[in-house]
Structure 1
């Protein structure tokens, strides 16, 4: 990329970061004027790079998705049941703490844009796939129908809405909410096959 293109990409990045920062401060979608002021650009610069606010929201969703994928999920895919449980819950809760305001904006506007709706589906698909990866040992021990039903239950248990209720409605701290998830997931999962269980400590 030449210098001009690099500067344009950097401007887009700063606008996205300003948009996300404002979402963290208020649940309402920020205005173009607020975003421009936070990013240090004009409103014209905002709409010079994004057709409208929904296009900016889609770009922000892609930014968040890329950050989520950059975390090494495979690091938590092996090892003992307790290690996998703790690793998955910590990772997912960190992501939800950061991206819950953006998720709510996506939910609020999913009927206005097929692109927004597609991003929601993409995020849900990724979370579904990672559940299968992290708890594959336990899920594989079940018949196909039971395995699917349990994975649906785990998906419902560990989604954005579940995390928001624990943190906001019930006033749990991050660690308390994590402990609830770990306890519930551990009770839902079938027994880990002996060869996959954590080895005895000497």
Structure 2
């Protein structure tokens, strides 16, 4: 008698993984859609607009995110992951003065990338405790990044330190790029010249 092949019924163990992967792709599409709308000039896109841009239903948006603030938080977290390698790159310059110039260059790259997205999130921060926290966290990170470069004599000078924080912060970049309509290169030159003028009388060994 011919032996029958050994046929085993195997459950589809990958079905759960497949659903999880599809869900993750759908979530990423929704975040991509928010990015795209904001970068195209819509500073306050609706959930319906996001759903349409992502090619999903409105229910799908709110299945992945409890509300629009949750979607904005996801956007902020993605941006932070994207810019962290730039922030964590070791300094090439040795002296504190040269490192400030390097800081301006690095922040120009970061701010140029995040500007429309940060402006959009900033519009919502007054009505969202979570986005308000994210805004304050960003400010603290900015301040810490600058202070870590500076000699103690500048840290002790509240007026000089405050002026440096203002010039090297995001709002100065936004003002130059958006309100004054300068190119990124010109904006960076303005900031570098302003910082140099501010530090002109500070000795290198300060």
Q: Structure 1 unaligned segments of length 5 or more: list them.
A: 195-202
2-structure distance, mates of 1:94, 1:119? 20
Q: Structure 2 unaligned segments of length 5 or more: list them.
A: 1-15
What is the deviation of 1:180? 0.9
Aligned to 1:119: 134
Counterpart pick for 1:37 among 52, 75, 82: 52
Once the two structures are overlaid, the 10-residue window that deviates more, 13-22 or 74-83, is: 74-83
Conserved? CA contact 1:89–1:181, under 8 Å: yes
4+ long deviations beyond 6 Å:
none
Q: Does structure 1 residue 90 correspond to structure 2 residue 105? A: yes
What is the deviation of 1:122? 1.0
SS in 1 for 2:182: coil
Counterpart pick for 2:119 among 96, 101, 104: 104
Conserved? CA contact 2:167–2:191, under 8 Å: yes
Aligned to 1:71: 86
Give the TM-score normalised by structure 1.
0.81
SS in 1 for 2:127: coil
Name the Cα RMSD after superposition: 2.4
Give the TM-score normalised by structure 2.
0.80
Aligned length: 189
Aligned to 2:27: 12
What is the deviation of 1:49? 0.6
**Distance 1:75-1:144 versus aligned 2 partners, 3 A rule:** closer
Matches within 5 A, 1:46-195: 46-76=61-91, 78-80=93-95, 83-133=98-148, 135-136=149-150, 139-140=151-152, 142=153, 144-146=155-157, 148-189=158-199, 190-193=202-205
Conserved? CA contact 1:156–1:162, under 8 Å: yes
Larger Rg: 2
